[in-house]
Structure 1
Amino acid sequence: MSDFEKIKQQISSKNLSQFYLLHGEEPFFIDRLVELFEKSVLLPEERDFNQVVLYGAEVSAKRIVEEAKQFPFGSPYRLVIVKEAQSLAKSDIEELENYLKNPNPGCVLVISAKGKKIDGRSSLVQLAKKKYVEFYSPKIKDYEMVNFIQQYLTQNGITANRQVCELIYEGVGTELSVLQNEVEKIKIYYGNSPIHLRPEDVEKHLGVSREFNSYELIDAIFNRDIAKALRIITFYKKNPKQHAPIGILAGIFNSFQQLYTLHVAGIMDKDSASEVLKIHPYRAGNFLSFKRNYSMEDCEFALLFCTNCDARLKGVDNANTEDFDVLFELVYRLINKYWM
């Protein structure tokens, strides 16, 4: 069971610690836990006298400790939540540490610091780990997102294959709050019916084209399908708000960089490729097949051309050519291997 699920279980069973330290770069899980504390620890009629929400940028540790030392009134707990605690001064942190050496047994103190990791060597983190509950929420890496989406859909009673999850990732990126909102809309749309998402459902609900997405573009380039690749770029040109040229270029560059890595490492099996590239074995298998069309030297030229294209998109040696026309030229040269 993950630390996130353990804390959820503690909240639901009311088997609570006197102190929770929630911190990390990914705000999604921290926000969900704080919301659970706010809505589930106390009954509605108990909250007026026993639930306090403070903000780190507006209060001192002295005020936090004063609130935490008060005993509950007509309730088994007093709940003090400090949001945006990353704004607290170092002296405030030290005062909180002094309180936690002898805390109020009737109070649950929740410190939430989003957007940053508190130094694991700090005495506050060490104290939380040793005597209380510490939860660190790291940013989910790009290569982990498709698997995370599949797990998240399953947790919400939705089945979907990997292609569907890749399309969803195309639409939401690494913004987990956006993913949550889209999943909630899908659940409302289907009601109590079993939900099995198909590519056309993603296109309908999220507006992500199953034919004109970045995965299809990369596959078209590496399979040297010039007609398909140019159709996708044309589609992007007609929808520039959803498809920024610099982002498209980054995807192409990263893909050639991955292929170059496989050549340099001499990797021939998809499990090893998956481990090195940090992608799903299915996708790694695709990259191994792409090696037949692009040698290591081809990849070197491609990376050089992508770098040149990046400069042109930023205005270097490019006075008149539109951004998407720069991409058209790049894709044409990559597929036809016009390296000179």
Structure 2
Amino acid sequence: MKETTYEEIVRNLKNRVYAPVYFLMGEEDYYIDRISDYILDTVLTETEKEFNQTVLFGTDTDMAAIINAARRYPMMSEHQVVVVKEAQGLRNLDDLTYYLQKPLLSTILVFCYKHGSLDRRKKIVAEIEKRGVLFESKKLKDSQLPGFISSYLKRKKIEIEPKASEMMAEFIGADLNRMAGELEKLVITLPSGQRRITPEQIERNIGISKDYNNFELRSALIAKDVLKANQIIKYFGENPKNNPLQMTLAVLFNFFSNLMLAYYAPQRNEQGIAAFLGLRSPWQAKDYMAAMQKFSGNKVLQIISAIRNCDAKSKGVGNPSISDEDLLRDLVFFILH
């Protein structure tokens, strides 16, 4: 079995099609946790788990103990499950190669290898791909977060307004475990019978202002709305804990960097720009289309440089005393003029 996607792995697990070894690796914990938890929750019945489910930790065990556990036969069950958490802490991982040459098919052996990936040139990788499932869990790009949010909620038969999705993406960022927790909070707080999440609900339950947030600041800059931009800066200055400058700079840098790329899109329409930037839908390209009418390519380059300079000053480089609010105000003035 070759390396596969998260969706394919879950589909096979739901159909009770199991591999003898799952090696789950990568920088994004969320998918690793979801797959391993699903295996722990569903493969065995509660009665079977007592004798046939083993959870080990890479920092507290070794490959010899793991292989010995994997070679045990299940007791009054079709399968046994052995899950190795924090597998990145294991020594002598290459010793697994000997087990992989003839794995016990009644054992489902799962490795959760976080914050990194195996060198794909190693023999062990080829052996895993030959007899098991190798899955790399990659960090999502910022542009992919609204899609993740929509898909997560769709599985619960709930819709989310595009603006609300953007607000969540920009406020939470690419921490998918935290994002899932906040989305669950929104689902629980939905009024009875309502199946659509709005910006107002996010404002009430997550603590993001629907009118004064990074999404609205970006919109004000695209529209060159000086009054609205300054109102947002003032609000940020009064509520610095919920609106840290670093988060705002990250949002602006991401947008203007993508805008610079958009100038090179073969087709400068919504579909062409969405495809070129890897956006989930043409709707997300509307802001880039509007910004290209307001900012020249040369100005965008200058803005990117100004954002970097602002970031350096916010960290004390060449800046003895300017507040974050004043730094942002100066940056916004430069962008708008």
Query: So what's the TM-score if we normalise by structure 2?
Result: 0.90
Contact in 2 for aligned 1:56/1:82 (Cα 8 Å): yes
Matches within 5 A, 1:124-163: 124-163=124-163
Contact in 2 for aligned 1:170/1:208 (Cα 8 Å): no
Deviation at 1:41, TM superposition (A): 1.4
Contact in 2 for aligned 1:26/1:114 (Cα 8 Å): yes
Call closer, same or farther: CA 1:316–1:52 in 2, change over 3 Å. Answer: closer
Q: How many pairs were matched up?
A: 333
2:42 corresponds to: 40
More deviation in 102-111 or 232-241?
Answer: 102-111
Call closer, same or farther: CA 1:325–1:38 in 2, change over 3 Å. Answer: same
Contact in 2 for aligned 1:83/1:112 (Cα 8 Å): yes
Name the amino acid aligned to 2:168: I
Is residue 324 of structure 2 the alignment partner of residue 323 of structure 1? yes
Deviation at 1:102, TM superposition (A): 1.9
Matches within 5 A, 1:227-238: 227-238=227-238
Name the amino acid aligned to 1:105: L
Give identity over the alignment, percent. 30
Contact in 2 for aligned 1:264/1:296 (Cα 8 Å): no
Call closer, same or farther: CA 1:251–1:104 in 2, change over 3 Å. Answer: closer
1:3 corresponds to: 5
Separation in structure 2 between the aligned mates of residue 221 and residue 61 of structure 1, nearest angstrom? 56
More deviation in 270-279 or 184-193?
Answer: 184-193
Is residue 203 of structure 2 the alignment partner of residue 203 of structure 1? yes
Separation in structure 2 between the aligned mates of residue 300 and residue 306 of structure 1, nearest angstrom? 10
Separation in structure 2 between the aligned mates of residue 6 and residue 299 of structure 1, nearest angstrom? 41
Contact in 2 for aligned 1:80/1:108 (Cα 8 Å): yes
More deviation in 290-299 or 324-333?
Answer: 290-299
Deviation at 1:286, TM superposition (A): 2.2
Query: So what's the TM-score if we normalise by structure 1?
Result: 0.89
Match of 1:291, SS? helix
Separation in structure 2 between the aligned mates of residue 191 and residue 141 of structure 1, nearest angstrom? 32
Call closer, same or farther: CA 1:301–1:42 in 2, change over 3 Å. Answer: closer
Deviation at 1:218, TM superposition (A): 1.3
Matches within 5 A, 1:69-84: 69-84=71-86
Deviation at 1:230, TM superposition (A): 0.7
Separation in structure 2 between the aligned mates of residue 234 and residue 136 of structure 1, nearest angstrom? 43
Deviation at 1:199, TM superposition (A): 1.4
Separation in structure 1 between the aligned mates of residue 54 and residue 282 of structure 2, nearest angstrom? 48
1:303 corresponds to: 304
RMSD, matched Cα: 2.2
Deviation at 1:140, TM superposition (A): 1.2
Separation in structure 1 between the aligned mates of residue 305 and residue 106 of structure 2, nearest angstrom? 64
Matches within 5 A, 1:1-340: 3-89=5-91, 92-190=92-190, 193-263=193-263, 268-279=268-279, 280-335=281-336, 337=337
Call closer, same or farther: CA 1:307–1:10 in 2, change over 3 Å. Answer: closer
Unaligned runs of 5+ in 1: none
Contact in 1 for aligned 2:142/2:169 (Cα 8 Å): no
Call closer, same or farther: CA 1:71–1:258 in 2, change over 3 Å. Answer: closer
Deviation at 1:53, TM superposition (A): 0.7
Separation in structure 2 between the aligned mates of residue 149 and residue 58 of structure 1, nearest angstrom? 36
Call closer, same or farther: CA 1:19–1:324 in 2, change over 3 Å. Answer: same
Structure of larger gyration radius: 1
Call closer, same or farther: CA 1:71–1:288 in 2, change over 3 Å. Answer: same
Unaligned runs of 5+ in 2: none
Call closer, same or farther: CA 1:194–1:123 in 2, change over 3 Å. Answer: farther
Call closer, same or farther: CA 1:159–1:250 in 2, change over 3 Å. Answer: closer
Contact in 1 for aligned 2:189/2:205 (Cα 8 Å): no
Deviation at 1:192, TM superposition (A): 6.7
Contact in 2 for aligned 1:218/1:252 (Cα 8 Å): yes
